[in-house]
Chains A and B, each alone.
Chain A
Amino acid sequence: MSTVAPAERAMNLVIALTHTPHRMTRAEIRSRVNGYADAPNDDAFERMFERDKDMLRDLGIPVVTLVNQAHGDDVGYRIDTEHYRLPAIDLTPEEIGVLSAAAQVWQGAHLDPVARRAVTKLRAISPAAADDVGARLRVPPPEATFEPLVRAATTRARVSFRYRAASSSARGSITPARRRVEPWRLVARDGAWYLQAWDLDREAERLFRLSRIAGSVSVAEADSATQPVPADLRREGAPPRRCVLAVRPDRAAALRLRAVVEGPEEQAPEDAASEPVPEGYERVVVLESDLEALAGMIAGYTADVLVLAPADLRAGVIARLRAAAALAAQPAPNRQEADADA
């Protein structure tokens, strides 16, 4: 007997459960649907059927369970064709093109095949895609805890997970503590995913980085969350700040693009007095709200750009320079030096 491929077996299950006049029991499925006779024993059949049934439901196929009252635990299945159908959606070639491009946002993430599957379903009823937008957006791949957390936020369910706090230091390996929270939403920002939630033990709003969640998330029943969700969850971006820099002539052209021109009356008198521009440098003023990002950029220019103000930007740059300077004294590598010609 030849083995039936899993997709072929599942296809036959879908057709059988769509056409059954009332329902099919597991025994009927095993004996009558092509592919299930491959199961060598009861356990193998159960595993095979459960996996297929979960996959069908995951695909959005409404597999309903019907219990025969007269026969106790006699369970049967069929597909609810009413709820199977995708509502009419009339897509233009440009729109299906845009949707194909959108599916690629998840490249490399576990949502990648999920989004591709969704586009396949839409292609079933769409014209040929028009040349796509010619643009790609890539987002940080969300961790596996993403889906249960989205579900919990949607169904207002409490969750708990073990979390490595940031305060345990970048290198530390302190045992992750159990946190109980009410999820509000998931946010991708600065190359990482965060859970914005109400922390039940700290009785305050907290932001959790998904990559610091250890292990899986336990989700309580729907509507177990009680803390009202704030109407506006978006956190205010910091207002732009005036940053005074000293730049060597003809250097840092990319930074100079951001420079603002200000007249003498706009110059804060204190930085003219206390922060004189060193010899061989020119004064450049930029407005920036994300000082961490700006500090990273400025540090890259090393001695070509110096920060005069504000003090926290200056400290951010100096901290980066100190860390890089320390690389001169790095411990010997624990393995062969990387081959520079590779």
Chain B
Amino acid sequence: MPESTSERLARLLALVTYLSDHDDVPVAELAEHFAVSRAQILRDIDTLWVSGTPGYQPDDLLDFSSDAYDAQRIALTNARGMDRPLRLGTTEAVSLVVALRAMQSLPGVADTPALSTALAKLTAAVGDAAAGAEKVSLEPRTEPLAQRVAEHAAIVREAMRTGTRLRLTYVSAADETTTRLVDPLELTSDGDYSYLRAWCLRADAVRHFRLDRFLDLLPDGAAQPHPEAGEVGTSLRPQDAALRVTLTLTPRSRWVAERYGGTVTAEGETLEVELDVASTAWLTQLVLDLGADVLGLQPDTLARDIAARATRALAAYEEEVA
């Protein structure tokens, strides 16, 4: 996604403030600090170098050391009085305060001391700007196994901190119990359920495991790095999906596309969502969970399969009713 002008302007101003306080900083360090590429930092410095007060004579401009610049280091020599840190706008303050509060509901994260101190400091610094945050509330579903999930989350976080491999006994959506070795990558939550994103040694690929389906979890030696595992924060989309399906859904089921990385291919009175799924068992669970919100499913063979299973279940109900 290309950067917006306001994001870039915020960074240009932040760079001046930061460099007023830090003399002679390597470009690489600035890039890491502001989470952008080195090339972007150099473009930003080039822009700042020609910025200043009207007249734009040498003394009017922000200035940097050329010698340092040539050595891939940045040293600000004239800040033109732009060294003040810029306050947060109202929406900015609200977005962060609400996000921090929401994180306090994450199993295994809620007790991170930095979370509550950051929230307290931020709230104090933005004052009234965060008033809107009082009007926003994220209410994640309370997991029936909340305590168990929190215990597993704590083990996972400790394993991530210490680089430990885990032996996980897990019940899949297909109701199959397996024990496998995993190297934990991150904990994620979609607001409803918590997941462990991990490198599964059995699959030799990244897998998501729902924490409320853990039967057992034990440390098992040292984990290995998995550079091929990709960035943190990727969606729940299966990386080696076995099957592409098209679901016809009611419009209110749009979240399915968002949560599982599907593509909305048609939208009107009904919604067509193309979805890559890892297994038919997972899909069966999803279709039955959605119930009447699923109006159609392609391929047809799969739809007939799921329908047959549902029909057999209905028969079981009638038998025991009789």
Contacts and interface: CB of A to CB of B under 8 A. Distances in A.
Interface of A: 5-8, 10-12, 14-16, 18-19, 32-34, 55, 57-61, 81, 83-92, 94-108, 111, 113-125, 128-129, 133-141, 147, 150-151, 153-154, 170-171, 173, 183-192, 209, 211, 233-234, 237, 246, 251-254, 257-258, 276, 278, 286-290, 293, 296-297, 299-304, 306, 314, 318-331, 333, 337-340, 342
Contact of A296 (B175, B289, B297): B289
Nearest to B316: A303
B114 A92 contact: yes
Contact of B125 (A88, A113, A129, A289): A88
A291 B190 CA distance: 20
Interface in B43-90: 47-48, 50-56, 62, 80-82, 84-90
B136 A186 contact: yes
Contact of A114 (B92, B102, B251): B92
Interface in B120-165: 121-122, 124-127, 129, 131-132, 134-142, 144-145, 148, 153, 157, 160-161
B213 to A, nearest CB: 5
B212 A254 contact: yes
Contacts of A129: 33
The 6 closest A-B pairs by CB, nearest first: A60-B89, A296-B289, A328-B307, A320-B291, A124-B14, A300-B285
A222 to B, nearest CB: 12
Contacts of A59: 6, 9-10, 86, 89, 92
Interface residues of B, number: 151
Nearest to A173: B269
26 contacts: A8-B50, A11-B47, A19-B53, A34-B51, A60-B88, A60-B129, A85-B87, A95-B114, A108-B258, A113-B4, A115-B92, A121-B88, A122-B88, A133-B103, A134-B161, A136-B186, A137-B106, A173-B269, A186-B135, A187-B136, A191-B190, A253-B177, A289-B142, A321-B313, A333-B246, A339-B244
A111 to B, nearest CB: 5
B125 A87 contact: yes
B203 interface: no
B39 interface: no
A194 to B, nearest CB: 9
B228 interface: no
